[in-house]
């Protein structure tokens, strides 16, 4: 078995170099680069420089001279991303090999070990020096600003403004320092490097490259080591020694993209048929499966990933949770760990972060739980889906999954200093305090505490409610670690599914649908779009990519049976723009450090009584506030500001708060999601700030924030600084998926009456049925016509509730009168028993503290009125047929490049962090 070695999971648009780039001239070559130093790489430093050809140079647009120099981290490696992000960008990795440096071009289509790049990029070594302690590498890089990897193309030709590159450094040597195809472990440090394009252009550029005698080295043509297999070896989690808390890394194994090879012995699915097959166990799929099974239909729910919560047999946990039935997913304070360790969790075939575990986004996010602003449905959705139509569905969701803005069981809000300071400033500026879920339509110059879907100090949500109810029924089956490759159909009628094993215990083969049965795709924007395209449903250009792919060429439905619909188009997301505020009274809490070594008093509070800071989402989110900006086009655009207690943009954590602005409902920019020849999904066209009105709303919102905070001494907007105009700040903020995504993707299977079969924009009708099919439906964020005001999890579940009603009300296609069999349950994970280890409370069975004298952790805890009480989380029924053997978690190394993340700092000019995302 090949060692599992990956790039890590921090954001690439992190706080970059604190020093201002300045010219550096190499004495021996005379080459001058615009260079900046990083003095926080372990105990040493790293210097990165860039020289560009003159602006009028012909045929040299895609090349540059680079310099990388620094300490030699125990024979480790250094990497550069020419697009800034890990995925969908050309990467250059280098490491010492004797007295020289080995270089390797790489490319990653997902969050797995990047493959060796086989395109036409070349390296010419201009100077290299390697000592036991240091290295210097000056090189010419040709065809490095544009790339083509298995049909996935990209370009970052320098233009006006700044050029942004990512860097990362690992402290462990690669598997074979002589081999450009070697594997290597995750990074220990990572960040961005940004330079001004004009200042990087050098008049002597061609003199320097002419003096270089060595021939260029092309990208290796040998194939890269394959993505590691999903052979589980245990469930332990370890962190790289010396990794700072801001980029903490755990070691584990990411699941590979399933192979198209023959199925393994024993992986064939049971020979059953079903009334309904629901694909995807997340915010859309779990409620849908529960409602269908509640109606008496035989239902199979297929989840691609492994179990997450301990309730369902999940095993991913830090050492201090060993002996409990809790995993990292169950503890609110560990929610941000997804951005430090996503191996075995993130979908490996998506260019953005997507959760491939049971629960999907609702298992890994910060659990923000908003009742829909009525305008979200009235503005975005067609008739039959307006706010009045959705009222009962929303009510059922919140009855089943109550909200709380005081998740600690003692009713206290911990570390409230940041909230108090910012909310006080907003109040002074005339903004109004609201209880957001009591007044969901009040979204203009209002602020609120953050409501969550936590209960009893633990993650609640659809896994702890809808799924528990469904699992108690004999007409419900759940498979995990199983990927749906495609739906099989005869013309317009879906007859079954092809499945592939994604992990241990997963099924591989074909699953039949009952005559008259239905399939519902709820695999999220990336997963659902991929399944549709592999099923011959989508734009013709994308279906041709699938038909020509090596894995699907022989399996693709005939072109005469293609259903051409705009799948992947209308891609939407909240446009994120980060700002930073100086709030001296705010108190930073080391949430990342709490994964391995929580404050003992806080750990005890959590384990013994589910109280304290660890019952709250990292990184101490709030206040959240809103404003509407009316554009010149007459559209009111919704802004949501989410504050969190940590720094970004190169500014430290002490006394700073990052406030992320989300441009949501009313935005008119859209993008596109496409499939590559390797059958990975990529955001080929970002949906951010394409219209003047969208950009104007972002600018005006920041101006209004600056004006509001200026009225309170001691609360100061420091990023952008006062000497920078907001217009300049926004103009120079990169418009990329890595820098602007809130990871609230939606819209790629748009609901509407204008069928895409006739040139319209809709993929599904008002019953969520895919146009041109008889029995295929989509129920997840893909169907949302446009962006909403808030984090969308609760809205997706409400849409699933409503869709279940409409689907069940459709004329029977043979399923409503069918005999309901007792379905065997496929082996998956063992739910926890009702008993708990000594001294540790089981999930959802904790005593409520009875005294205000109960101990509190370090930091100030402000007693506050409690929110509506959350119900006790029900346990998995003890029905013996639902007892499932636990699945071990794959282990190994993690990806090295940082990725977009909640609470991850970003570089000085263009920061980003996603505290409280979802």
Residues taking part in catalysis: 744
In degrees and rounded to multiples of 5, residue 777 shows phi and psi of: -130, 160
Q: CA–CA separation, 165 vs 484, rounded Å?
A: 36
**Contact indicator for 519, 285 with CB cutoff of 8 Å:** no
Cβ within 8 Å of residue 150, ≥6 positions away: 109, 676, 677, 678
Helices (H) and strands (E) in the chain, counts: 16, 38
Q: Which tokens belong to 305? A: 């990933």
Q: CA–CA separation, 685 vs 534, rounded Å?
A: 20
| Cα dihedral sign, 689-693-699-702 | negative
Taking CB atoms within 8 Å and a gap of at least 24, the contacts of 833-838 are: 834/875, 834/878, 836/324, 836/325, 837/323, 837/324, 837/325
| Cα dihedral sign, 812-816-819-825 | positive
- Tell me the Cα Rg of the chain: 26
Closest CA relative to residue 500, chosen from 537, 531, 533? 531
Say what the alpha-carbon torsion angle 724, 725, 726, 732 is, to the nearest 10 degrees. -70
Q: CA–CA separation, 762 vs 769, rounded Å?
A: 11
Pairing type for strands 299-302 and 273-279 reads parallel
Identify the burial level of 430 via C-beta atoms within 10 angstroms of its C-beta, where 0-12 means exposed, 13-18 middle and 19 or more buried. Answer: exposed
**Contact indicator for 902, 438 with CB cutoff of 8 Å:** no
Burial call 137-163: b when 16+ CB within 10 Å, e when fewer: bbbbbbbbbbbbbbebebebebeeebb
Cβ within 8 Å of residue 27, ≥6 positions away: none
For residue 630, count other CB atoms closer than 10 A to its CB. 13
**Degrees to nearest 5, angle at CA 532 with 526 and 538:** 100
For residue 47, count other CB atoms closer than 10 A to its CB. 20
Pairing type for strands 432-433 and 446-448 reads parallel
| Cis peptide preceding 623, ω within 30 of 0 | yes
Residue 219 is given by DSSP the state P
**Contact indicator for 393, 802 with CB cutoff of 8 Å:** yes
Q: CA–CA separation, 197 vs 732, rounded Å?
A: 12
Closest CA relative to residue 79, chosen from 120, 130, 113, 31? 113
Cβ within 8 Å of residue 20, ≥6 positions away: 36
**Contact indicator for 892, 905 with CB cutoff of 8 Å:** no
The tally of CA atoms less than 13 A away on the side-chain side of residue 346 is 33
**Degrees to nearest 5, angle at CA 248 with 244 and 251:** 135
The tally of CA atoms less than 13 A away on the side-chain side of residue 646 is 28
The per-residue DSSP string of 65-108 comes to EEEEEEE--TT-EEEEESSSSSBTSEEEEEEEETTEEEEEEEEB
Count of positions (residues) in the chain: 918
Q: Which tokens belong to 288? A: 């849908």
For residue 380, count other CB atoms closer than 10 A to its CB. 21
């Amino acid at each position: 078995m090949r060692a599992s070695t990956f790039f890590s999971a921090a954001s690439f648009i992190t706080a970059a170099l604190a020093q201002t780039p300045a010219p550096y001239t190499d004495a021996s070559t005379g080459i001058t680069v615009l260079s900046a130093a990083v003095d926080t790489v372990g105990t040493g430093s790293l210097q990165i420089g860039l020289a560009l050809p003159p602006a009028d140079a012909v045929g040299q647009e895609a090349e540059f001279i680079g310099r990388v120099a620094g300490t030699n981290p125990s024979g480790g490696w250094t990497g550069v991303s020419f697009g800034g992000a890990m995925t969908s960008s050309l990467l250059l990795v280098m490491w010492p090999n004797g007295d020289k440096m080995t270089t390797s071009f790489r490319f990653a289509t997902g969050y797995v070990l990047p493959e060796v790049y086989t395109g036409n990029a070349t390296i010419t070594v201009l100077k290299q020096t390697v000592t036991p302690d240091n290295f210097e590498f000056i090189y010419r890089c040709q065809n490095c600003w544009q790339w083509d990897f298995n049909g996935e193309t990209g370009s970052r030709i320098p233009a006006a403004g700044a050029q942004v590159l990512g860097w990362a450094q690992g402290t462990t040597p690669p598997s074979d320092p002589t081999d450009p195809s070697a594997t290597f472990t995750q990074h220990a440090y990572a960040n961005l490097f940004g330079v001004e394009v004009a200042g990087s252009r050098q008049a002597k550029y061609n003199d320097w490259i002419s003096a270089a005698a060595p021939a260029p080295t092309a990208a290796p043509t040998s194939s890269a080591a394959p993505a590691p297999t999903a052979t589980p070896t245990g469930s332990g989690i370890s962190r790289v020694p010396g990794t700072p808390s801001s980029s903490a890394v755990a070691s584990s194994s990411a699941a590979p993209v399933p192979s198209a090879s023959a199925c393994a012995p024993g992986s064939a699915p049971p020979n059953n048929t079903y009334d309904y097959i629901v694909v995807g166990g997340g915010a859309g799929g779990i409620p849908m499966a529960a409602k269908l099974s509640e109606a008496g239909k035989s239902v199979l729910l297929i989840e691609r990933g492994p179990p997450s919560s301990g309730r369902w047999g999940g095993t991913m946990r830090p050492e201090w949770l060993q002996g409990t039935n809790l995993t990292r997913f169950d503890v609110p304070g560990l929610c941000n760990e997804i951005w430090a360790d996503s191996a075995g969790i993130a979908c490996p075939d998506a260019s953005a972060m997507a959760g491939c575990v049971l629960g999907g986004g609702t298992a890994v996010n910060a659990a923000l739980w908003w009742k829909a602003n009525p305008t979200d449905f009235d503005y975005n959705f067609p008739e039959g889906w307006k706010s009045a139509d959705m009222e009962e569905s929303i009510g059922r969701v919140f009855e089943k999954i109550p909200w709380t803005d005081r998740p600690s069981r003692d009713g206290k809000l911990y570390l409230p200093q940041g909230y108090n300071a910012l909310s006080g400033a907003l109040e002074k500026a005339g903004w109004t305090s609201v209880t957001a879920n009591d007044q969901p339509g009040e979204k203009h110059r209002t602020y609120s505490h953050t409501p969550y879907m936590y209960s009893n100090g633990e993650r609640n949500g659809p896994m702890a409610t809808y799924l528990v109810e469904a699992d108690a029924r004999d007409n419900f089956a759940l498979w995990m670690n199983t990927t749906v490759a495609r739906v099989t159909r005869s013309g317009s009628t879906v007859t079954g599914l092809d499945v592939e094993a994604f992990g241990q215990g997963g099924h591989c083969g074909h699953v039949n649908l009952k005559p008259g049965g239905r399939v519902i795709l709820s695999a999220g924007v990336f997963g659902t779009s991929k399944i549709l395209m592999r099923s011959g449903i989508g734009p013709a250009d994308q279906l041709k990519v699938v038909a020509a792919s090596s894995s699907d060429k022989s399996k693709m439905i005939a072109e005469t049976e293609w259903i051409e619909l705009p799948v992947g188009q209308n891609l939407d997301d909240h446009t994120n723009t980060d700002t930073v505020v100086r709030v001296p009274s705010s108190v930073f809490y080391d949430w990342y450090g709490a994964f391995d070594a929580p404050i003992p008093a806080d750990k005890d509070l959590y384990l013994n009584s589910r109280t304290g800071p660890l019952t709250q989402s990292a990184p101490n989110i709030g206040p959240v506030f809103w404003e509407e900006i009316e554009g010149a086009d007459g559209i009111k655009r919704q802004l949501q500001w989410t504050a969190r207690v940590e720094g970004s943009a190169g500014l430290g954590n002490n006394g700073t708060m990052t406030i992320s602005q989300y441009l949501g409902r009313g935005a008119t920019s859209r993008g596109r999601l496409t499939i590559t020849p390797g059958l990975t999904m990529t955001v080929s066209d970002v949906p951010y700030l394409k219209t003047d009105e969208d950009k104007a709303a972002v600018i005006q919102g920041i101006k209004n924030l600056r004006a509001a905070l200026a009225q309170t001494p001691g609360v100061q907007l420091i990023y952008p600084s006062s000497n920078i105009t907001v217009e300049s700040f926004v103009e120079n903020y990169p418009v990329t998926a890595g820098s602007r995504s809130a990871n609230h993707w939606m819209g790629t299977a748009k609901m509407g009456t204008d069928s895409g079969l006739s040139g319209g924009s809709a993929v599904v009708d008002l019953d969520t049925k895919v146009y041109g099919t008889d029995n295929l439906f989509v129920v997840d964020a893909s169907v949302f016509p446009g962006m909403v005001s808030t984090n969308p999890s609760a809205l997706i579940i409400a849409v699933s509730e409503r869709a279940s009603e409409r689907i069940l009300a459709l004329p029977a296609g043979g399923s409503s009168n069918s005999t309901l069999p007792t379905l065997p349950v496929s082996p998956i994970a063992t739910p926890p028993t009702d008993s708990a280890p000594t001294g540790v409370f089981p999930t959802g069975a904790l005593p409520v503290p009875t005294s205000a004298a109960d101990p509190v952790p370090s930091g100030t805890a402000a007693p506050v009125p409690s929110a509506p009480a959350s119900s006790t989380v029900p346990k998995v029924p003890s029905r013996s047929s639902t007892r499932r053997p636990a699945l071990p978690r794959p282990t190994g190394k993690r990806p090295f490049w940082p990725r977009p993340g909640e609470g991850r700092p970003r570089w000085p000019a263009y920061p980003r962090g996603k505290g409280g995302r979802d």
